[in-house]
Structure 1
Amino acid sequence: MKEVPLSSTWGSVVLLLICLVAVNVTAFFIPLRFDLTEERLYTISDGSRKILENLKDPVRINFYYSRNNAELPPNFKTYAQRVEELLEEYETLSNGKILLEIYDPKPDTEEEEWAQKYGIKPITLPSGNAVYFGAIISMLDQEMLLPYFDLRREEFLEYDISQAIQKVSSTTSAKIGLLSSMSLEGGRALIPGMAPREKWVFLSELEKSLKVEILPLTTEEIPDEINLLIVLHPRGFSLRLQYAIDQYVLRGGRIIVLLDPNARIDMTSPANQFGQQPQLASDLPALLKKWGVEYDKTKVAGDHLHASQVNTGRGVMSFPMWMTFRSQSLNQDHPITAQLENVLFVEAGTFRKSADSTSDFTPLLSLSDQSGVIDAFQLRFAAPDQLSREMKVDDEDKALMAITSGIFSTAFPEGQPDKEKNESDDSAAGDDSEEEKSLKHQHLNEAEKRNSILLFSDVDFLSDQFSVQKINFLGQSIIQPTNDNLNLMLNAAEHLSGNEALMSIRSRGRFSRPFIRLLAMQQQAQMRYQEEERQLLSQLDEVQQRLNNLLESAGEKGQKEVILPKEVQQEIEQFREEELQTRRKLREVRKILRQDIEQLGQGLLLLNMLLVPLIVGIIGVVVYRYRTQKRRKTIR
């Protein structure tokens, strides 16, 4: 066998090192990337490309980043590089329509002064140094500020940038009208000394891309410039306001209606304060009937399969009235829900198509065969575990979100209802009736064209409590979505108002991936636990009733002390033994649950630790054997 000279070996090592350095240097200057994520989360989407293609004038992006600050943590630097690369990709794809300028605002420099003028707020590190990490996007006289690129909003990075570009470049935008019995804009506190009410994040996000006008509840005709009408929790709407909604639909107006049989967020409204019996349900019975939809405002839906984990006084449990829906439960054929990953509905109602309806009814979010309903008033008095036990599973179809389409007829065939009179009208002097304003449009009994109405059976899912998390980070107020609830509603608004490019960007999926199999195991074990517990409590109630009957009969006979018959004592002893056995079974169920979860976790850990080294080892062995065989053939 020939000996390989030592100089040749060292030469090969040096050559290999030179090649590695050359590859790294080339990769640094040539930004090549391969996006291997399932939904291509790190690749600019078609929606952003469409916005760039429609640009008529150049858009300038001034990116301010304290690059040379030595105290930046590694994850911050990595994310900053991701932001910079994404902005450069925008510039490349825009064919000269995006002008990107990158600045490093060092202390006491002109760059820092401009960053402060634009409103980019610095983040103060523990050492006291200021870090700038934001951008200003402008076109002509339009500007959009992105004060801080928060790492926790990484999944919305492309959306935030594209939204800003779309807003500064848009000459016209759709106008949305909003009708609601609740105060969405916030305001002063109802009780002195309390913090003022904050504006809903949903409304703030909607105003970023669309013009929003909150219509008064005294509206008698929806203005023509309203492209989309959102009716949110119509509790106590007057007949005249319902007539205005009815005629708007018949004229071809787009509409989204959100109802709720138990709106938790409405507990804080003035109408439900100061000791009054809270009225939390909303309904539009006359309109729904004409739209071909059945809805019962006294019933709340629940689903054991989609039950959410809630923290009660007795620990964490699956609560079927708070329902978490993954992507496989949402309608994947409709653009509003196609790419959403996680939606939470809280004590929602249900929709179904009316038996005599001729309209088309399309569910976008349906419950499983493990669902049922309970009376809404029970939610105010019963504990979550009791509600979960009392909900009876039925075989009825239930939709929490649906679209009804057709050529609708009016719910007011006699025209606009008479104005409702109050006490002040009765006592006022003067004319017998106020002068009526003539309506701009004539009364319609039936629509000329087919129309579609989007229906939600929950309002709470839009409230800040169930959709976002507010974080104070170094003086900055950061809003972090906890699910896709906001995305769902914003998708619906942008889809129905004709702005679908932004919707396709937002609904691209999530960077976090839940353990679906693990959640399913927990829900199955929880359902088994609740069923056995229900049987146990039923037996307990039966024996307790027999004891009460026995004591009552003894009291009627005037006996102060009751000696239980031997057979009753034996029966009680037998029940105690059954109770002990049942509780032992419950512990066994929980034990099996923990074992299954632990085994799954250990399997995933071993897979992550051993799979990649095993693959590399197998490749190394194959390459080694191939080279050894080739060398032997050469020697021969």
Structure 2
Amino acid sequence: MIQKKVRPVFSRAVFATSILVLSTIAFVALNTFSTVGFQNARLDLTDRSLFTLADGTRNMVNGLREPITLRFYYSEDVVTEIPALRAHAQRVRDLLQEISSASNGNVRVEEINPQSFSIEEDQATDAGLTGVPLRTGDKVFLGVVGTNTVDGREVIGFLSPERATYLEYDLARLIFSLANPEKPLLGVVSNLPLDTGAGGLLLAMEGRSEPFMIYQELKNSFTVDFLEQDFDRIANEIKVLALVHPKPMDPQTLYAIDQFVMRGGRVIAFLDPHSEVSLTAGPAGKPVQGYTEASNMPELMKSWGVEMNPNEVLADKLRAQRVAAGARQRRQLTDYVLWQRLLPEDFASDDPITAPLDALHTGSAGILEPTADATTIFTPIVQSSPEAMILDLERVKSAPSPDDLLRAFEPAGERFTIAARISGPVKTAFPDGRPLADDEEEVPTALKSSKHLVESIDDANIVIFADSDIFDDRFWVQVQNFLGDRIAVPTADNASFVVNAVENLMGSNDLISLRAREPADRPFTVVEDIRRDAEEKFLAEETRLQTRIDETEARLAALRAELPEGAGAAALLTDAQEAEMASLQRELAEGRRALRDVQGDLRRDVDALGARIAFLNMALVPLLVGAVWLVLSWTRRRKRATRAQAAGRSVMSADTNTGAAS
């Protein structure tokens, strides 16, 4: 009996076309739904949640007592052919929308497109925004004007892409300033030209001063009040006093600081056994007049339960920064153990000042230790790595080369404290009261009304950092000039530490979680270890060969000294002397050749390491993908072959059964 073949209702072509049409409809519907339904949805897969609104921002906008309006001026029509700027502007727009959504209506965002020769363009210019001119004659505006319900107004003139990693902090600081128009008062005592830069008053009078960028950050958050370096009393309005590399202070000034702490005042001190920033040359080629190379306050430090040896400087091999090796070296960079790049494992993870930091750059820092009879609690918040040692100050002042420091380096095998928080009860450093000045017979009448305190009213809260070079712009920031404005692009969190510490001592923590949210510098630690080991071997071999060359040259010089003077002196050499001199000259040439080979081998090792890393980065993943594809292809072919064999056996079995039945 012959069975009729049943034809399908739809042909394969119709079925395929239907599937294609339905898939297209589903794709369009899904995209439309996701655009509308998930407009504000975000999936942040970065290591430190760099694109997720921080808790500090959420707390701030949720706690606003009055509405704030942010006007976002963006020349959208002009930047259509500038993809990078358009992408950055989109991120600004997204972040503003997230802030508005998280504020429960407290932050209103208005977007304005200031087209050329329009009223909106005039408004943007009048508001203080910076228009970047293009070759077409148009101007690009990308800034924010924030206002509150009274007369408060804050402006970000241009949201530069170079500060993209600080975008949330810049916007949050603008909102914070509008919500808190009265900035806290910060007292500052310093012998560094924080407000003028290395140019000092001379350039400041000419309008060409360049203040330290950390000082600019402090001014953005606080009202900074510089105190004279000799004073009798600190005003009650000052709650936090910053001592930034102060000059040696007289007993009356030290007493005023002592009583400030007794009354509950907070102190952050930056002291230094060897301040490199104070030695920075100004326009005249000399440091600022009145500079001091070192700073310390042993009398007050003792009463606070901490000490810093003025003759000790920290060196750290594991955290050494890379510097130029010198013109006579065959490699470009080398480790400089006196300058450190400290990493998160060197910071106290449970302290709000240091917990969010990624890196700190320090130079010739000091070492802090608790005193034996301290009544306070000494808590390290910044430390060296275990591969650190103590150098004598005079050795540092002799300006040894980076390689000389590496050759003589002997790690102590312990961490040394660079910054510490001091807390707990404090006793006065002046139990007998205010000391009299040389020209005084009794305490001035204006000071007699002040009660002398022998113990602190409340537990002290003091932060001490044994380095002043943390303020040096060269150490931590690249300053770029953008249409007359100075834009800071940090390479370390030095400013974050300083402002975090002041805000923490002031009692404000909302901005701390934002300030250091830039992408962390994530070095190839394995590569760094390999490089460090290679350089260590190179230096050891170089030292051995150089010693051999020096000894050979000394023997040659001694041999030549035995010869009489005159042109025919060489003819008076004995056969033994002539053979020895020839041998020494060959040995000298061989030593110099070996030294060149060692220097070349180091460079070749570094280049080979770079080539291997480049291969792993570029070729390994494609090779792995290709290998997986080959395995899958081979597996699929095997399955097809197995199915074909099974089908063949079924057909043969059916034919056999049919033949048997017939």
In structure 1, C-alpha distance between the alignment counterparts of 2:442 and 2:278, rounded to whole Å: 34
Greater Cα offset, 48-57 or 592-601: 592-601
Query: Matched residue of 1:43: which SS?
Result: coil
1:155/1:511 contact within 8 Å kept:
no
1:189/1:195 contact within 8 Å kept:
no
What is the TM-score when the length of structure 2 is the normalising length? 0.83
Match of 1:331 in 2: 348
Note if 1:401 corresponds to 2:419: yes
1:259/1:459 contact within 8 Å kept:
yes
Greater Cα offset, 607-616 or 377-386: 607-616
Note if 1:117 corresponds to 2:126: yes
Match of 1:22 in 2: 29
Q: Quote the offset at 1:410 in angstroms.
A: 2.3
1:363/1:399 contact within 8 Å kept:
yes
In structure 2, C-alpha distance between the alignment counterparts of 1:545 and 1:359, rounded to whole Å: 59
Match of 2:171 in 1: 161
Note if 1:384 corresponds to 2:406: no
In structure 2, C-alpha distance between the alignment counterparts of 1:96 and 1:347, rounded to whole Å: 50
Q: Superposition pairs for residues 285-296 of structure 1, below 5 Å?
A: 285-296=298-309
Note if 1:472 corresponds to 2:481: yes
Match of 1:307 among 317, 320, 325: 320
Deviation digits for residues 151-191 of structure 1 (CA, Å, limit 9, x no counterpart): 11111111111111111112654321111012211177566
Matching residue's letter, 2:165: E
Query: Matched residue of 1:501: which SS?
Result: coil
In structure 1, C-alpha distance between the alignment counterparts of 2:560 and 2:431, rounded to whole Å: 64
Match of 1:76 in 2: 85
What is the TM-score when the length of structure 1 is the normalising length? 0.86
In structure 2, C-alpha distance between the alignment counterparts of 1:265 and 1:56, rounded to whole Å: 43
Q: Quote the offset at 1:33 in angstroms.
A: 2.1
In structure 2, C-alpha distance between the alignment counterparts of 1:94 and 1:625, rounded to whole Å: 60
Note if 1:411 corresponds to 2:421: no
Q: Quote the offset at 1:69 in angstroms.
A: 1.7
Q: Superposition pairs for residues 432-581 of structure 1, below 5 Å?
A: 437-438=446-447, 440-510=449-519, 513-539=522-548, 566=577, 577=590, 580-581=593-594
Match of 1:6 in 2: 13
Structure 1, unmatched stretches of 5+, are 422-430
Matching residue's letter, 2:358: E
Match of 2:273 among 261, 271, 280: 261
Greater Cα offset, 543-552 or 26-35: 543-552
Match of 2:658 in 1: none
Matching residue's letter, 1:97: N
Matching residue's letter, 1:467: W
Matching residue's letter, 1:282: S
Q: Quote the offset at 1:619 in angstroms.
A: 9.6
1:57/1:97 contact within 8 Å kept:
yes
Q: Quote the offset at 1:571 in angstroms.
A: 6.9
Q: Quote the offset at 1:238 in angstroms.
A: 2.2
Greater Cα offset, 542-551 or 280-289: 542-551
Match of 1:37 in 2: 46
Match of 1:597 among 602, 607, 610: 610
Note if 1:284 corresponds to 2:297: yes
Deviation digits for residues 57-89 of structure 1 (CA, Å, limit 9, x no counterpart): 111111110112255411211111111111111
Greater Cα offset, 538-547 or 67-76: 538-547
Q: Superposition pairs for residues 302-381 of structure 1, below 5 Å?
A: 302-314=315-327, 315-377=332-394, 378-379=396-397, 381=399
Greater Cα offset, 578-587 or 159-168: 578-587
Match of 1:137 among 146, 157, 160: 146
Note if 1:230 corresponds to 2:237: no
Matching residue's letter, 1:145: V
In structure 2, C-alpha distance between the alignment counterparts of 1:304 and 1:176, rounded to whole Å: 36
Structure 1 residues 208, 6: CA separation in 2 closer, same or farther (over 3 Å shift)?
same
In structure 2, C-alpha distance between the alignment counterparts of 1:409 and 1:218, rounded to whole Å: 23
Matching residue's letter, 2:94: E
Larger Rg: 2
Structure 1 residues 191, 495: CA separation in 2 closer, same or farther (over 3 Å shift)?
closer
Matching residue's letter, 1:135: V
In structure 2, C-alpha distance between the alignment counterparts of 1:108 and 1:486, rounded to whole Å: 40
Structure 1 residues 503, 278: CA separation in 2 closer, same or farther (over 3 Å shift)?
closer
Identity %: 29
Matching residue's letter, 1:235: K
Query: Matched residue of 1:349: which SS?
Result: coil
Structure 1 residues 611, 356: CA separation in 2 closer, same or farther (over 3 Å shift)?
farther
Note if 1:57 corresponds to 2:66: yes
In structure 2, C-alpha distance between the alignment counterparts of 1:434 and 1:354, rounded to whole Å: 32
Match of 1:424 in 2: none
Matching residue's letter, 1:473: F
1:469/1:481 contact within 8 Å kept:
yes
1:401/1:455 contact within 8 Å kept:
yes
Q: Quote the offset at 1:288 in angstroms.
A: 1.9
Structure 1 residues 463, 417: CA separation in 2 closer, same or farther (over 3 Å shift)?
same
Match of 1:102 among 95, 99, 111: 111
In structure 2, C-alpha distance between the alignment counterparts of 1:550 and 1:411, rounded to whole Å: 68
Match of 2:254 among 227, 242, 258: 242
In structure 2, C-alpha distance between the alignment counterparts of 1:348 and 1:548, rounded to whole Å: 44
Structure 2, unmatched stretches of 5+, are 1-6, 652-662
1:231/1:256 contact within 8 Å kept:
yes
Deviation digits for residues 128-149 of structure 1 (CA, Å, limit 9, x no counterpart): 2101111111112211111111
Structure 1 residues 275, 55: CA separation in 2 closer, same or farther (over 3 Å shift)?
closer
Q: Quote the offset at 1:541 in angstroms.
A: 5.4
Note if 1:148 corresponds to 2:158: yes
In structure 2, C-alpha distance between the alignment counterparts of 1:449 and 1:70, rounded to whole Å: 57
Structure 1 residues 61, 619: CA separation in 2 closer, same or farther (over 3 Å shift)?
farther
Structure 1 residues 369, 284: CA separation in 2 closer, same or farther (over 3 Å shift)?
same
Match of 1:427 in 2: none
Match of 1:205 among 217, 225, 228: 217
Aligned length, in residue pairs: 621
1:181/1:236 contact within 8 Å kept:
no
Query: Matched residue of 1:324: which SS?
Result: strand
Matching residue's letter, 1:257: A
Query: Matched residue of 1:226: which SS?
Result: coil
In structure 2, C-alpha distance between the alignment counterparts of 1:204 and 1:95, rounded to whole Å: 32
Query: Matched residue of 1:318: which SS?
Result: strand
Match of 1:426 in 2: none
Structure 1 residues 389, 11: CA separation in 2 closer, same or farther (over 3 Å shift)?
same
Greater Cα offset, 66-75 or 115-124: 66-75
Q: Superposition pairs for residues 419-430 of structure 1, below 5 Å?
A: 419=437
Match of 1:428 in 2: none
In structure 2, C-alpha distance between the alignment counterparts of 1:135 and 1:388, rounded to whole Å: 50
1:124/1:474 contact within 8 Å kept:
no
Structure 1 residues 52, 356: CA separation in 2 closer, same or farther (over 3 Å shift)?
same
Structure 1 residues 201, 531: CA separation in 2 closer, same or farther (over 3 Å shift)?
same
Structure 1 residues 280, 574: CA separation in 2 closer, same or farther (over 3 Å shift)?
same
